[in-house]
Amino acid sequence: MGSQDQLTHFDAAGNAIMVDVTEKPVTQRTAVASGKIRVSPAVMEAVLAGTVKKGDVLGVARVAGIMAAKQTSSLIPMCHILLLTKCSVDFETHPEENTITAHCTVRTTGQTGVEMEALTGVSVALLTIYDMCKAIDKRMEIGEIHLESKSGGKSGDFVR
């Protein structure tokens, strides 16, 4: 592990802390995260046809992901409250694999990054798909949630 990989969410006594970003420069920061949900053929068909009884699955999941990204600091204890300047959630459907991939892009201009916001947005978008489709089939699997890329800040750019 390099020096930039040190754990910074603990003080000298080992107590969990929020990192002090007061002295960090304000930069434009962007993060993109993605994840997948594996569904049954019946769920995929209902999502694509728009026949899920709870409504527009991907539309509701998009809004849920955006709302979640905006609430990340309320869910993850050491996250800073951030003013997000962009948040989008997009989906790719793969009927041949019975999977739906979610991508969440988050941007801010500030002193700390938005990786957790992007990861939270993707996670909640996928959970919303599960919630809306569980009456059809409860065997859906959520996985492969990861950071695709990030830019800005002291640690620079990252591309998976």
Q: What is the pLDDT of residues 100-147, one digit of tens each?
A: 999 999 999 998 899 999 999 999 999 999 999 999 999 999 999 999
How far are the Cα atoms of 43, 110, 112 from residue 81, in angstroms, in the given order?
36, 11, 10
Q: What is the pLDDT of residues 29-81, one digit of tens each?
A: 999 999 999 999 999 999 999 999 999 999 999 999 999 999 999 999 999 99
Just list the catalytic residues: 131
State the pTM of this model. 0.90
DSSP secondary-structure letter at 10? Answer: B
Q: Which domains does the chain have, with CATH numbers?
A: 41-152 (3.30.70.640)
Question: Which pLDDT value is given to residue 17?
Answer: 79
Beta strands at 141-151 and 86-94: parallel, antiparallel or unpaired: unpaired
